[in-house]
Amino acid sequence: MNRALNFLLGVVIGGFVGATVAIFLAPSSGEDLRSEIGVRTNRFRSEFAQAAADRRAELESQLAALRAPKQYDE
C-alpha cells in the first residue's frame, strides 16, 4: 500500500511540475499567464475538494458498516 501511495504521490507531483513548466514555456503575455494560472489553480482546488469529499464519504460509509452491530444467522 505504501508503494502505491508513493507512486501516486509521484505522479501528482510530476503532473504539477510538468504543468508548471508547460505554462511558463508557453508563449503568452504576463497578464494572460497570470489569468491562466488562476483559472487552473481554481479548477485544481475544485477537483481536489470534490475528490476529498468523495473519499471522505466512502470512508465514512465503510466506518459505519464496521461499527454496525453484527447480525448472525442462526
Report pLDDT digits (tens) over 8-27. 888 989 988 988 888 777 77
Count of domains for the chain: 1
Whether 38 maps to a domain, the answer reads: yes
CA–CA dist 9, 13 (Å, integer): 6
Percent over 90 (pLDDT), the chain: 36
Domain enclosing residue 51, as ranges = 2-66
Burial class of residue 33 (count of CB atoms within 10 Å of its CB; 0-12, 13-18, 19+): middle
Whether 74 maps to a domain, the answer reads: no
Whether 29 maps to a domain, the answer reads: yes
CA–CA dist 64, 74 (Å, integer): 24
CA–CA dist 36, 58 (Å, integer): 33
Contacts of 28 (CB under 8 A, 6+ apart): 36
| Mean per-residue pLDDT over the chain, rounded | 86
Whether 71 maps to a domain, the answer reads: no
Q: What pTM, to 2 d.p., does this model score?
A: 0.51
